[in-house]
C-alpha cells in the first residue's frame, strides 16, 4: 500500500527571479511541500535516482558518440553494413538502447512503498 504521507505535492508559485520574468513571460517555480531534499530523501528514492543518473550517463555517451560521428566523421556514418548505411543502423540502435535502458531501470529500481530489508535497516 502506498504511504500517501510521503508523496510530494508540488505547487507552482509565481517568482520574479527567473530571467524570463524580465520579458513578461509567466514564470512559475515548483514549491515542494513534501520536505524532501538531498539529505532526507527516502533510501529507495535515492537509490532509484542514482540508478537513473547512471543509466542516463550511459545513454548520453552513446548519443554523444552518434552526434560526433554525424558531425565530424560523416565518412564513417556513410559506410554500408548489410545494405543499410551505418547512420540508420546507429539511429535504430539508439532507439533500442533507450528501450533496453528503460527495462534495466525498471528491473533495478526499488519501490518506495516496499519495506526495507533487514540488512538495509542494520546499515
Residue of 32, 37, 43, 39 lying closest to 7 (CA atoms): 32
Query: What are the residue boundaries of the structural domains of the chain, listed by start?
Result: 9-40, 43-113
Cell numbers 547512471 label which residue? 54
Q: Tens of pLDDT along 42-93?
A: 788 888 889 999 999 999 999 999 999 999 999 999 999 999 999 999 999 9
Residue 116 to residue 120: CA distance in whole angstroms: 6
11 membership: H or E segment, kind and range: strand 10-14
For residue 116, pLDDT beyond 60? no
78 touches 85 (CB < 8 A): yes
Asked if residue 18 has pLDDT above 60, the reply is: no
Q: Which long-range contacts (CB under 8 A, 24 or more apart) does 70-73 make?
A: none
User: Is 29 a residue whose pLDDT tops 60?
Assistant: no
Model confidence at 4: pLDDT above 50: no
pLDDT at 64: 96
Contacts of 15 (CB under 8 A, 6+ apart): 21, 27, 28, 29
Residue 14 CA to its chain's centroid (Å): 26
Segment holding 52, helix H or strand E:
helix 43-72
Amino acid at each position: 500500500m502506498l504511504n500517501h504521507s510521503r508523496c510530494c505535492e508540488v505547487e507552482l508559485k509565481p517568482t520574479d527571479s527567473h530571467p524570463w520574468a524580465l520579458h513578461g513571460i509567466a514564470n512559475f517555480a515548483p514549491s515542494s511541500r513534501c520536505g524532501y531534499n538531498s539529505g532526507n530523501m527516502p533510501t529507495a528514492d535515492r537509490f532509484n535516482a542514482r540508478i537513473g543518473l547512471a543509466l542516463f550517463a550511459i545513454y548520453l555517451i552513446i548519443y554523444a558518440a552518434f552526434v560526433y560521428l554525424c558531425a565530424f566523421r560523416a565518412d564513417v556514418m556513410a559506410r554500408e553494413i548489410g545494405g543499410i548505411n551505418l547512420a540508420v543502423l546507429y539511429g535504430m540502435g539508439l532507439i533500442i538502447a533507450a528501450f533496453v535502458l528503460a527495462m534495466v531501470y525498471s528491473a533495478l529500481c526499488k519501490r518506495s512503498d516496499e519495506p526495507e530489508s533487514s540488512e538495509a535497516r542494520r546499515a
